[in-house]
């Protein structure tokens, strides 16, 4: 597996994470097509959100038209609020202060009691680690993680920022040669808002690769994608799977398991927009100069 020479990821030291050392069966892919079902998780105020989880994270998506207040009391670690649409803004209250957050932004909120007052029309995506067990255990696909997936190490957060406060970042960052997407990280999460595709991707320039010891959460916000997956063969032939080509619309989430070879192909005629989420942050992306746009705000994970 290798990236094309003009793909910024070709500069990574390795196309995969450190080997998990396992040759057992690979977990199946988790797919949540929010556009095909009703919201499933009660926010506690009469509204409901769509939910899905991976081993280390839970994602909640709210469709808002008007005003909505979302509260989170006793949150055990840092979490994120993604507002991908320009028409939805928020006021984030934490530790006695309030921060106004515009649309087209990503905000990291420290542990503790928090409140998000949304106003306008658009989607609000909240990202939590599975340390918030009340959310993880109520997610739509919680049964898929009743037993931890063996490929993924136990979750360990990265160091906290030197000063605990709400931090918000605009998403409208111009692309630069050699930089992959628009990457932000905090102590618990890494979010990569990829450049949108206008129309389908060139099918001769895909990027099949694998991650040996972490999942990839791919959130489709606009358009349609085909997630191509190839499953590794193991000594046990009874666990082998045929290739999969999962076509999804938006909004949807596809949780790609560790060790599965994958690449995502935008196929809609119009705008296609994908956001990749990792929990905890990726070391290889963090090591690339200039890739993490808020790198100065958070320390790196200590090396082993």
Say what the pLDDT of residue 107 is. 99
Domain presence at residue 158? no
- Report d(CA 139, CA 59) in Å as an integer: 8
Element (H, E) at 229: strand 225-230
Predicted TM-score (pTM) of this structure: 0.95
Domain presence at residue 302? no
If you search the block for the tokens 């000063």, which residue do you land on? 163
Domain presence at residue 301? no
Per-residue pLDDT in tens (0 to 9) along the chain, 304 residues: 567 778 889 888 654 444 555 677 889 999 999 999 999 999 999 999 999 999 999 999 999 999 999 999 999 999 999 999 999 999 999 999 999 999 999 999 999 999 999 999 999 999 999 999 999 999 999 999 999 999 999 999 999 999 999 999 999 999 999 999 999 999 999 999 999 999 999 999 999 999 999 999 999 999 999 999 999 998 899 989 999 999 999 999 999 999 999 999 999 999 999 999 999 999 999 999 999 999 999 999 987 6
Domain presence at residue 303? no
* Domain count across the chain: 1
Domain presence at residue 152? no
Q: Is 31 exposed, middle or buried (0-12, 13-18, 19+ CB in 10 A)?
A: middle
Domain presence at residue 3? no
Q: Is 36 exposed, middle or buried (0-12, 13-18, 19+ CB in 10 A)?
A: exposed
Domain presence at residue 297? no
Nearest to 58 by CA among 217, 202, 289, 165: 217
3-state secondary structure at position 98 = strand
Q: Which two tokens stand for residue 264?
A: 């995502």
pLDDT in tens, 116-164: 999 999 999 999 999 999 999 999 999 999 999 999 999 999 999 999 9
Q: What is the CATH number of the domain that holds 184?
A: 2.60.120.10
Domain presence at residue 58? yes
Query: DSSP letters along 116-172, please?
Result: EEEEEEEEEEEEEETTSHHHHTTSTTGGGGSS--TTSPPP-PPPPPSS---EEEES-
* Domain ranges, residue 282: 8-145+165-292
């Amino acid at each position: 597996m290798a990236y094309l020479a003009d793909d910024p990821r070709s500069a990574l030291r390795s196309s995969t994470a450190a080997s998990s050392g396992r040759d057992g069966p690979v977990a199946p892919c988790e797919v949540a097509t929010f556009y095909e079902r009703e919201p499933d998780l009660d926010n506690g105020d009469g509204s409901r959100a769509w939910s899905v989880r991976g081993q280390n994270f839970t994602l909640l998506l709210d469709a808002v038209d008007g005003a909505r207040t979302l509260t989170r009391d006793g949150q055990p670690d840092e979490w994120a609020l993604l507002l991908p649409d320009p028409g939805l803004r928020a006021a984030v209250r934490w530790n006695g202060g309030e921060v106004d957050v515009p649309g087209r932004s990503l905000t990291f909120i420290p542990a503790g009691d928090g409140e998000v007052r949304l106003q306008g029309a658009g989607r609000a995506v909240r990202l939590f680690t599975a340390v918030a067990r009340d959310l993880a255990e109520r997610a739509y696909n919680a049964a898929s993680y009743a037993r931890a997936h063996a490929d993924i190490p136990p979750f360990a957060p990265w160091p906290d920022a030197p000063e605990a406060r709400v931090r918000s970042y605009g998403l409208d960052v111009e692309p630069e040669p050699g930089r992959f997407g628009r990457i932000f990280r905090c102590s618990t999460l890494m979010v990569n808002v990829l450049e949108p595709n206008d129309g389908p991707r060139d099918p001769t320039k895909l990027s099949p690769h694998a991650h040996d010891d972490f999942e990839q959460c791919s959130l489709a916000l606009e358009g349609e994608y085909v997630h191509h997956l190839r499953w590794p063969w193991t000594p046990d032939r009874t666990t082998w799977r045929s290739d999969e080509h999962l076509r999804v619309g938006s909004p949807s989430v596809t949780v790609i398991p560790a060790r599965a070879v994958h690449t995502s192909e935008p196929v809609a005629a119009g705008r296609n927009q994908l956001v990749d989420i990792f929990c905890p942050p990726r070391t290889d992306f963090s090591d690339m100069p200039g890739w993490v746009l808020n790198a100065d705000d958070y320390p790196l994970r200590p090396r082993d």
